[in-house]
A and B are shown apart, each in its own frame.
Chain A
Amino acid sequence: MSAPQVRTKREFGRPLNFKRGVIELSHGSGGRAMTQLIDELFAKSLANPWLEQGNDQACLELPAGRVAMTTDSYVISPLFFPGGDIGSLAVHGTINDIAMSGARPLHLSAGFIIEAGFPLSDLKQIVESMAHAARAAEVAVVTGDTKVVERGKADGVFINTTGIGVIPEGLHLSGDLAQPGDCILINGTIGDHGVAVMSERTELDFEVSVVSDSAALHDLVRVMVATAPQIRCLRDPTRGGVATTLNELARQSNVGMVIQEAAIPIRPEVSAVCELLGLDPLYVANEGKLIAVCPPQHAQSLVDAMKDHPLGRKSAVIGEVAADPHHFVRMQTAFGGSRVVDWLSSEQLPRIC
């Protein structure tokens, strides 16, 4: 989408029909149709000085410091769900991956793979939502790419975003730094995103008013690292949920973890959906949550600071790091027993039994 924005519409004859038009193979072939799509949709919605230059690359001036970089591809069905869509998700997800290093996210790239026949109206909605999310997060989408594949070769649209950010001086967060005795924190209710997405899947056929928690967490992280620069690590529990993230951190840090079921925030509707489908909310995806590990003496001030932030109102300490060469994540159940919270062996499927 690196193309000049200032062109007259006449150059392409008729403007794109965002009501009834669809993506055609020519929109990805590098010709005039592609340039028109970029001008009339991408460059226009995502507008920023880098895109305006119309080069094949963005040339960036970065502030001093270590640079964090990440990439993620977004494939989701349905593309639109309560609380967001693939466009906003592709911005939030990548910003969050950057933010988990403590970095301030600065720039994103966006690559679109679109299936021929995809409605232009849907694409417009996605790109605008992406633009809106980026603007709200004060992050610019500075370069991009579009490819069109034949019908049936992609599920509507896939998006890849890459992000870079700069880590404040002196901050060092990493998944291998958790130590026995540290506290484990979360910034709110679990499973909202997964349940919101499932509620849109017609085959599961239930209704609930839960919206996805999809959000950019970098501002919350800014507050957190300012309050407690001693934080050891941050990670966003997306696919595979809280259980998977805790297992990753335990393994990376060569420790175990013990969490308290009763302390984990969860909406009653999310519990009910999980009950109905036989899923465990600990494994259900989040898109606006983070797990933080910090030394115990800083846990209280950190939770208090998180609760003052709009994205952390329901923050809680949910457990602590333990010495354990087997890296088990265990949970004290609200019922009074304990159990292992294992890695997910594969995608959770609704069960009958």
Chain B
Amino acid sequence: MCLAIPARVSQMLDDDRAIIEIDGVQKEISLALVDDVAIGDFVIVHVGYALGRLDPAEAEKTLELLNAISQTSSETVAS
């Protein structure tokens, strides 16, 4: 449940607000629920609010793990 997507903060505005960008789409959101967000950070956006931050390093780790799983399986099948 709960539609939320990761988006990059592209501009900071007054009043705890910011502009986010996803592939050429801009939207103004509220940062009232998160602290210390800076331009370039990725946040998880839900109903116009940043709910939390997305950690790029952890995202890379997950992707590496997925690739590793995917490769082991092909090797096992090949052998």
Contacts and interface: CB of A to CB of B under 8 A. Distances in A.
User: A and B: direct contact (Cβ < 8 Å)?
Assistant: yes
**In terms of DSSP, what is the predominant structure of the interface of chain A?**
mixed
Given A206-B25, A276-B22, A352-B3, 16 more contacts: A205-B27, A206-B27, A208-B24, A208-B26, A209-B24, A268-B24, A272-B22, A273-B25, A276-B25, A276-B27, A276-B45, A278-B3, A352-B2, A352-B47, A353-B1, A353-B2
21 contacts: A205-B27, A205-B28, A205-B48, A206-B25, A206-B27, A207-B25, A208-B24, A208-B25, A209-B24, A268-B23, A271-B23, A272-B22, A272-B25, A275-B5, A275-B22, A276-B27, A276-B45, A278-B3, A351-B3, A353-B1, A353-B3
Contacts of B27: 205-207, 276
Contacts of A351: 3
B2 A269 contact: no
Interface string A47-91: 000000000000000000000000000000000000000000000
A353 B1 CA distance: 5
A272 B23 contact: yes
Contacts of B5: 275-276
Interface residues of B, number: 15
The size bracket of the interface on A is 10 to 19
A352 B2 CA distance: 6
Contacts of B53: none
A271 to B, nearest CB: 7
Contacts of A352: 2-3, 46-47
A61 B59 CA distance: 68
Contacts of B22: 272, 275-276
A207 B46 contact: no
A269 B23 contact: yes
